[in-house]
Structure 1
Amino acid sequence: MAEDLISGRLRRRIRRDFPDTDAARGIVGALRILAVELEDSGQSTERLLTAAVLIAAGDVERFRRAIRLARTDWRDLLMAGGLGDDFERVLDEELGPR
């Protein structure tokens, strides 16, 4: 189920930011788990997961910190990832059009 929650455009961004296949696979796996953990937030899954990827900026350790932040308070994750306000525009800018 959670696998389908990672959009195609977010997968493309992950491959771009994490060119190492194993790292990208690990990022996707962690995002699947996070999607399930945050499904009760009432927020767009793509928005939440993208925030973690944007915070990471291609760095696995930064990604781990973003996941910890998400588990502490998903609202802080969105703000730190630049997806607090006007997030649909930011998603399109960062991931490309749907």
Structure 2
Amino acid sequence: MLTTALSVLMEGEGMAEEPISDRLRDRIRRDFPDPDAAKGIEGALWKLAVELEDSLQSPERLLTAAVVIADGDVDRFRSAVRLARTDWRDLLMAGGRGHEDWPSVLDEELRPR
């Protein structure tokens, strides 16, 4: 329900597609097993995707970097979001997604476990 509400909200903001892929959603649920925490993380990622839209980077790449940095810790997630808002390039580097091999690194981080 939250995702549906956020989809409607984002349509008016120019976001063409949902920024949180199914495989990223699975990683969020794995790292943040508490359903309320997972919903909060997803909501914050939606907002961050909108804020970083002008970067022209893959939303999955950016958002996964924040989740990987967090490693299941809400405070670390908040720090990653602050870092992204300061400079999205620093987020990518800190989250291991800042190099040319980022697609394979992303695939590895988001593979089912």
Give the TM-score band, short-chain normalised: over 0.9
Q: For 1:47-80, what per-residue CA distance to the aligned partner results, in whole angstroms no more than 9, with x for missing partners?
A: 0000000000000000000000000000000000
Unaligned 5+ runs, structure 2: 1-9
Q: Structure 2: which amino acid aligns with 1:12?
A: D
Q: Point out the structure with the larger helix share.
A: 1
Runs ≥4 in structure 1, deviation > 3 angstroms?
none
In structure 2, C-alpha distance between the alignment counterparts of 1:19 and 1:43, rounded to whole Å: 28
The reply on whether 1:87 has 2:106 as its aligned counterpart is no
Unaligned 5+ runs, structure 1: none
Q: CA RMSD of the aligned region, Å?
A: 1.3
Structure scoring higher RCO (CA < 8 A, sep ≥ 6) equals: 1
In structure 1, C-alpha distance between the alignment counterparts of 2:51 and 2:98, rounded to whole Å: 19
The reply on whether 1:36 has 2:57 as its aligned counterpart is no
Q: Which has the larger radius of gyration?
A: 2
SS for the counterpart of 2:72 is coil
Identity %, equivalent residues = 76
2:111 corresponds to which residue? 96
2:70 corresponds to which residue? 56
In structure 2, C-alpha distance between the alignment counterparts of 1:42 and 1:30, rounded to whole Å: 19
